Structure 1
Amino acid sequence: MPELTQLVDHLDRLLAIDDFRDYGPNGLQVPGPTEVQTVVTGVSANGPLIDRAVELGAQLVVVHHGLYWRGDPQRITPLLHRRLAPLIKHDVALAAYHLPLDAHPEHGNNALLAQALGGGDPRPFAEYGFAVTFPEPDGLTVDELTARVTAAVGGREPLVVPAGPERIRTLGIVSGAATDAIGDAIDLGLDAFLTGEPAERGFSIATDAGIHFLAAGHHATETFGVRRLGELLAAEFGVDHRFVDVENPI
């Protein structure tokens, strides 16, 4: 079995975590056993995910949203205790990758979401997202784009503000909670903008600027990258991988 340090070091290097100033620590957050046979991945380090990882006999949990965030209380709160206790009791390690996993050009949330939507000519957009084009045969209608987004995130229909042009040829994508990146899309003259979790101001910005605005769910738009990390570890090190999708409507 591979060592825990091998797996975590591999992910740290792959995602170039030292290049990011993040809201919390990237990499290993909770140590565990020396060796790993089973890896569970999931979006957020919450109680149900951790409980399921224990049930599956995991030695390592890899998540996008970890346990520690800038500004959190400097003590073990009841909420943090609920999450830490099963990890420590069952000797399960936990690693988290936030912004590095959003931004990765091949294995990141935004790159994989762009790929799932069938977008062409992907290029960096806003701080951690990607912009793509839909040239064939003459772009997409907003209904066609909505259908692609719905399929990409597993059947969940996005919130849609259909305020842009009749044909969508360009789309900016920033997963998670990134409503304000719509300003970058407007500056670039894009036809549509997609994020996960919407803010109220997004409606007025979209309608006043004449751009389509879609919000497909914070959780739903960020399942892509962490699942890919588990697949990569399975291929590289021969570990067993299970992706656990704890349903989250937000």
Structure 2
Amino acid sequence: MPQITQIIAYLDQLLAVDAFRDYGPNGLQVPGRQEVQTIVTGVSANGLLLDGAVAAGADLVLVHHGLFWRGDPQQITPILHRRLQPLFAHDIALAAYHLPLDAHPEHGNNALLAAALGGLDPQPFAEIGIQVRFDGDGLTIDELIARLRTAVGDREPLVVPAGPERIRTLGIVTGAASDSMLDAVALGLDAFVTGEPAERAFSIATDAQLHFLAAGHHATETFGVRRLGELLEREFGIRHTFIDIPNPI
């Protein structure tokens, strides 16, 4: 069985964690047993996910949203205790990768969502996002909505249909990134996709004549962490289970 140090070193290198100044620590956040046979992946390290990891016999939990964030209280709060308790009780390790996983050009949330939408010629966009194009006459807004709905598991996106009749260029920043639509406006893109909307997004979209689509913070960020689990399963010969805790936000 591989050592947890091997797995974390592999992920740290793959995701180039040292290149990012993030809101919380990337990599191993909670130590556990040294050998890893079973890994559970999920979007956010909440109590429901960690209970599921215990039931699955996890040695390592790998998430996109970890336990520790800049500005959090310095003491262990009841919520943090709730999340740490199953890890400590069962000697389970936890690792998290946030911005490095959003930004990865092949295995990141943005790149994988762009591919699921059929976007071509992916290019870096808005620091951690992806810009793509659509061939020929492009897509109608209804066609883009249908593709996005399918990509995120039949979740209906929130849509401000304020852009051109045909969509040939699209910017994507998953999660809560409504303000990155200003980068889309500056580049003259036809549409912008994120996860969690901000109120001001409506006014920006209508004034700039840009399609705005928000398909859910959680729903747009299931891609990368599941891909990491699949990579680890192949690379190290360990068991992998992705646990999706339904989240409407």
Which residue of structure 2 lines up, in the alignment, with residue 151 of structure 1? 150
Render the CA deviation track for 1:197-240: whole Å, top value 9, x for unaligned. Answer: 00000001000110000000000000000000000000000000
Who is 2:188 aligned against? Answer: 189
Calculate the TM-score normalised by the size of structure 1: 0.99
Q: Give me the whole-angstrom Cα distance separating, in 2, the residues matched to 1:84 and 1:110.
A: 29
Which deviations, in whole Å up to 9, do the C-alpha atoms of 1:12-53 show, x marking residues without a partner?
Answer: 110011111000000000000010100000000000000000
**Aligned counterparts, 1:125-144, within 5 A:** 125-135=125-135, 137-144=136-143
Matched, 1:213 2:212: yes
For 1:229, the equivalent position in structure 2 comes to 228
Distance 2:229 2:74 in 1: 31
Map of 2:176 onto structure 1: 177
Q: Give the secondary-structure state (helix, strand or coil) at the position aligned to 2:155.
A: coil
Counterpart of 1:79? 79
How many Å separate the matches in 2 of 1:94 and 1:223?
17
Query: 2: CA distance between counterparts of 1:123 and 1:12?
Result: 23
Cα distance in 2, alignment partners of residues 134 and 17 from structure 1: 31
Q: Distance in 2 between matches of 1:191 and 1:19?
A: 30
Aligned length in residues: 249
RMSD: 0.4
Cα distance in 2 between the residues matched to 1:38 and 1:182: 39
Q: Secondary structure at the match of 2:137?
A: coil
Could you tell me which runs of 5 or more consecutive residues in structure 2 were left unpaired when the two chains were aligned: none
Give 1:246 deviation, angstroms.
0.3
Deviations 1:64-122 (A, max 9, x none): 00000000000100000000000000000000000000000010000000000000010
What do the CA deviations read for 1:141-175 (whole angstroms, capped 9, x no partner)? 00000000000001001000000000000000000
**Other-structure match for 2:103:** 103
Counterpart of 1:114, as a letter, is A
How much has 1:186 moved relative to structure 2?
Answer: 0.4
Q: Distance in 2 between matches of 1:35 and 1:129?
A: 34
Q: Which amino acid aligns with 1:121?
A: D
Q: Which runs of 5+ in 1 are unaligned?
A: none
CA shift, 1:127, in A, is 1.2
